[in-house]
Amino acid sequence: MKNTALLFPGQGAQAVGMGQAFYESSPEAKAIFDQADQIIEGLSDVIFNGPQEKLTQTAFCQPGIFTFSVAALRAFQAHSKYKEITPTFSAGLSLGEYAALVACGAIDFQEALRLVERRSFFMEEATKQQKGGMAAVIGFDKAQLVDICQSVGAQVANFNSPDQIVITGDASKVDAASAKIKEAGAKRVIALEVSGAFHSSLMQSAVDPFSQELEKTSFKAPDYPILSNVDAKPETDPNNIRENLAKQITSSVQWVDTITAMQKAGTTTFIEIGPGTVLKGLIRKIDRSLQVFNIQKPEDIDSLTFEAVSMG
């Protein structure tokens, strides 16, 4: 099936034991976990055996989700079902963008894992400098939300779906924005348990050292375009890909625009690869007519059945 996009989830979807079935059943997936252990000692053990508190630590969480996502991708690519699709785009939510880059051939797994490890370290260091916060806003007008955030100095982290937007920034400013948004009639405002204000200007101190890591990293022209979180535009230029990864740390994640852009380009089928079904839920809220499949375990690949979807 043509017009298929491969999607990869971000942080928060982690669970102890994720990917173990792929490790045990797919030589291609096992090779990815083994390579990961050479770069981050004991990573597979934490992914498979936990404890959950350790897996949730940024140092293991981001590399763990990324490694599982690529392992599941490799198992899928080695399966006969993969021959039924022709990927036309890849994209990932925040951290997921790194697995998307591996999927489209812009970077190899080991190089990308080193970047993910450095990214998580620099972001964690940035969280120690100023108390940041984040909150998810459900059921509220986008323009009104942006106005309120600007008025109190909060920022927008993620445009996840038409009715789910995540705000970020200095903790007191996020609290102030949350109070005003609730007062203005939002369905729900949920404070998130996070260590810092991700995708905000408070992460700026992570950008320079991470940019230096990016400069040392080899990127290739991808086999098909990746859509960046930063601008939701299809990208094939290695230098622009590198720049977008640096910008991504402080920029809003344009997920609604990403899905919409792929749909306008003729994408009818989306395959979410990695832990959880968060992206499937978000796409359902963007456009229920789109086909979305999940690959979290080997039997998910076996059961894939692609149907023709009319764009009329």
Can you give the pLDDT at residue 13? 83
- Known catalytic residues? 94, 199
Contact predicate 156/99, CB 8 Å = no
Q: What does the pLDDT look like over 288-309, one tens digit per residue?
A: 999 999 999 999 999 998 765 4
Residue 10 and residue 56 in one domain: yes
Cα 207 from Cα 198, distance rounded (Å)? 12
Residue 111 and residue 171 in one domain: no
Residue 111 and residue 252 in one domain: yes
Q: Is the pLDDT of residue 312 over 60?
A: no
- CATH for 216: 3.40.366.10
Residue 65 and residue 165 in one domain: no
Give domain status of residue 120, yes or no: yes
| Cα 27 → chain centroid | 25
* pLDDT > 90 in the chain, percent: 93
CA distances from 89 to 10, 141, 263 (A): 17, 29, 10
Classify residue 186 as left (phi > 0), alpha (psi -120 to 50) or beta: beta
Q: What does the pLDDT look like over 195-241, one tens digit per residue?
A: 899 999 999 999 999 999 999 999 999 999 999 999 999 999 999 99
- Domain, as residue range, for 12: 4-127+201-302
- CATH for 148: 3.30.70.250
Average pLDDT over residues 71-83: 97
Give me the number of domains the chain comprises.
2
Query: What integer best gives the mean pLDDT of the chain?
Result: 95
The model scores a pTM over 0.75: yes
Residue 218 and residue 185 in one domain: no
CA angle 81, 85, 88 (to 5 degrees): 145
Of the candidates 191, 211, 241, which is a domain's last residue?
191
Average pLDDT over residues 113-137: 95
Give domain status of residue 196, yes or no: no
Give domain status of residue 222, yes or no: yes
Give domain status of residue 247, yes or no: yes
Q: What does the pLDDT look like over 243-299, one tens digit per residue?
A: 999 999 999 999 999 999 999 999 999 999 999 999 999 999 999 999 999 999 999
Give domain status of residue 309, yes or no: no
Residue 45 and residue 168 in one domain: no
CA distances from 296 to 72, 112, 129 (A): 7, 21, 36
